[in-house]
Amino acid sequence: MELNKYRKSKQRQKILGLLKSTTKHPTASWIYEKLKPEFPSLSLGNVYRNLKILVELGCVQELKFGSTFDRYDGNVNPHYHLICENCGQIKDIEMRQETALDRKVEELTDFRVRNHRLEFFGLCEACVPSNGNGKAWHEPVFSAEEYE
Ligand SMILES: [Zn+2]
Ligand SMILES: [Zn+2]
């Protein structure tokens, strides 16, 4: 990582700290609202610029959903996501990435796969109707330790 390429920035350090401390996968404007009281001169443009640098440095993962819907993740280990179509909540899945999938795609195509992203869409536990037809939410099968 070429950390020297960019001048050390207190705001950027704060943004990184914020992202490392939450599992919310926040948007840039969420981060902006959180830091505004501490950094009154902060602009949303600053936040976007710093996020871009953090992504470039590999400190933060960007989940592209289109402009203002982009979400940021302090967890840079490869992992899959659950996305609630009702409330927009994004959660990590404690499950290893299926690297075998990369090889399978390479076998089927001439493409050299570097990585893949996988998102599962549906309803989070808070949004599943309680009078649903017995489809109860269940805890992830894999433990957090194994995931490390
Ligand atoms: Zn939900
Ligand atoms: Zn994540």
Q: Which ligand is nearest to the CA of 137?
A: 1
Sign of CA dihedral 58, 89, 17, 27: positive
Q: Which ligand is nearest to the CA of 93?
A: 2
In this prediction, residue 131 carries a pLDDT of 60
Q: Which ligand is nearest to the CA of 81?
A: 2
Return the CATH number at 140. 3.30.1490.190
Q: Which residue has the higher pLDDT, 38 or 5?
A: 38
Tell me how many domains the chain contains.
2
Q: Are strands 71-73 and 61-63 parallel, antiparallel or unpaired?
A: antiparallel
In this prediction, residue 147 carries a pLDDT of 44
Mean pLDDT of 117-143: 72
Containing structural domain, residue 21: 3-73
Q: Which ligand is nearest to the CA of 94?
A: 2
Q: Tell me the CA–centroid distance for residue 125 and ligand 1, in Å.
A: 7
Crossing angle of the two packed helices 44-56 and 28-35, in degrees rounded to 10:
120
Q: Tell me the CA–centroid distance for residue 73 and ligand 2, in Å.
A: 5
Residues 10 and 54 in one domain: yes
Mean pLDDT of 125-141: 65
Q: Tell me the CA–centroid distance for residue 127 and ligand 1, in Å.
A: 4
Confidence tier at 21 by pLDDT (50, 70, 90): very high
Q: Tell me the CA–centroid distance for residue 32 and ligand 1, in Å.
A: 23
Of 51, 73, 95, which residue is a domain's last? 73
Q: Which ligand is nearest to the CA of 123?
A: 1
Residues 96 and 127 in one domain: yes
Q: Is 75 left (phi over 0), alpha (psi -120 to 50) or beta?
A: beta
- pTM (2 d.p.): 0.74
Q: Which ligand is nearest to the CA of 129?
A: 1
Q: Tell me the CA–centroid distance for residue 116 and ligand 1, in Å.
A: 24
Residues 20 and 56 in one domain: yes
